[in-house]
Structure 1
Amino acid sequence: MTRIKICGLTREEDIAYVNELKPDYVGFVFATSKRQITPKKAIKLIEKLDRRIKKVGVFVNPSMEEARRIAEACDLDVLQFHGEEKPEDIIGLPRETWKSFRIKNQESFQELEAYSVGGYLLDTYVKGQQGGTGKAFDWNIDSDINKNKMIILAGGLSSENVEEAVEKMKPHVVDVSSGVETDGCKDFEKIKKFIEKVRGSHDS
C-alpha cells in the first residue's frame, strides 16, 4: 500500500483535517516558503496531532546543528532535505532522513546513488526552485529505482493524477501540498479525495 504525506501544514484547521483523514505522514516546512512556520508554531500544532501520524521536517540547506535542534524540539520522525546537502552532511543524524532530488531526465536518477538515506524524494526540476513547484516530471521515464530504494514521489500531484502516478512510478510514498489546497490553504475535501484515490477507497 502506497503511503501518503500531506505537506505544508500551517494551521490548527490543517491538524484537525489530518487527524480525521489519517495520512501516514505530515510535513512542516522550516525553510523559506509561503508555507514556512517557526519551530515554536510547529510545536503547538504537533501537540494536537494524532500520535499515529509521523512528523516530517522540511529543510533547505540548514546547518545540521539547526536541523538537530528543531528535530529535538518538535520530536520529528523524519528530516527531509531539499537543498544542496552533500552525502556526508546528512549522515549520522538522530532521525530518519529523506533527500530530495529534482528530476529532469533519466540521468537525474544517477545522483541518487551517492546518497545513503532512508528515503529518496523525487521532485520536478524547475530552474531556481528547490521544490513546491506544483509541476510533475515525466513519469514515463524508465527507472527501476524503486526496487532497492524507498521512493517518495512529489511534484504536481493531485487527486486527478495520483492514481496514474502510483501505477507508473510505484512509489512507496506520495507527497502532496499545493494539490490539496484552495487559495493557498489546505482543503479538507481535496485531502479526503486524494487519500481515497491512493487507498482505493471510493466510498462517499
Structure 2
Amino acid sequence: MVKVKICGLKRSEDIKYVNALKPDYAGFVFAKSKRQVTLSEAGELIANLNKGIKKVGVFVDEDIEKVKDASFALKLDIIQLHGNEPNEYIKKLNGYEVWKAVSIKSHEGIKRLKQYNADAILLDQGGGGTGISFDWDIIKGISVNTPIILAGGLNSQNVEDAIKTVKPYAVDVSSGVETDGFKDCSKIYDFIKKARSLY
C-alpha cells in the first residue's frame, strides 16, 4: 500500500484531523513558508500527535547543527531536505532517516535522482506547497534503488493517476488538502482513501 504524508501542519485542528484519519507521516515545515512553525509550536503539536504517525521535519538549506538540534529536541523520525544540500551535508545526518527533495522540471532533472545518498528521494516541481505538479510521464518507468516520494500538485482528483503512473513508495500533499489556506478534514479523508485504494 502506498504511504501518505500530510505536510504543513500548523494548527491544533490539523493534529486532530490526522489523528483521526491516520496518514503514515505528518510534516512540519521549519523553512520560510506560510506553513512555517517554530520549534516551540511544533513541540506543542507533536505532543498531541498520534504516536503511530511518523514525524517529518522539513528544512531548506538550514545550518546543519540547527537541524540536528531540532530533530533531537522534537524526536523527529525523518529529516526532509528541500534545498541545495549536497551529499556531504546528508552524510553528517548519520543516524537519521533523510529524504532529499529533487525538482523535476524536465528530463534533465532525472539525472539528479541517483546522485544523492538519501534514504528516499522526494520528487516535486520545485517550490514546495505551490499546488503545481510536474509532468509525471517524465519519470514513468524510471528505475532507481531509492524509494520515491511523489509530491507537487497532488489532490484527491489526481492522486490515483499519479500513483498509477509513477508507482511511488509514498505520496506527499499539502495545499491539495486545504481550503482557503487551511487544512480541510474532508479533503484529507478523500486523499487518503483514494491513495490507499489502489494496492
TM-score, normalised relative to structure 2? 0.96
Aligned to 2:185: 188
Aligned sequence identity (%): 53
Return 5+ residue gaps in structure 1 as ranges: none
More moved, 49-58 vs 145-154 = 145-154
Q: Secondary structure of the residue that 1:140 maps to in structure 2?
A: helix
Shift of 1:146: 5.1
In structure 2, the residue matched to 1:110 is: 111
- Any conservation in 2 of the 1:39–1:70 contact (CA below 8 Å)? yes
The whole-number CA distance in structure 2 between the counterparts of 1:87 and 1:20 is 37
TM superposition shift of 1:133? 1.7
> Letter of the aligned partner of 2:12 in structure 1?
E
**1:100-150 deviation line (CA, Å, top 9, x unaligned):** 01101122011122211001000114xxxx322210100111444455210
1:20-169 paired onto structure 2 within 5 Å: 20-93=20-93, 94-125=95-126, 130-145=127-142, 147-169=144-166
- Residue 172 to residue 146, structure 1, CA distance change in 2 (3 Å): farther
Deviation larger for 32-41 or 143-152: 143-152
Deviations 1:38-65 (A, max 9, x none): 0111011100000000000000000110
Q: 1:38 to 1:183 in 2, by over 3 A?
A: same
* Preserved contact between residue 146 and residue 170 of structure 1 (Cα < 8 Å): no
Cα deviation, residue 85, structure 1: 0.6
- 2:136 counterpart SS class: coil
Cα distance in 1 for residues equivalent to 2:184 and 2:132:
19
Partner Cα separation in structure 2 for residue 159 and residue 185 of structure 1: 16
Q: CA deviation at 1:92?
A: 3.6
Query: In structure 2, how many angstroms separate the alpha carbons of the residues matched to 1:87 and 1:70?
Result: 20
RMSD: 1.2
TM-score (norm 1): 0.93
> How many residues are aligned here?
197
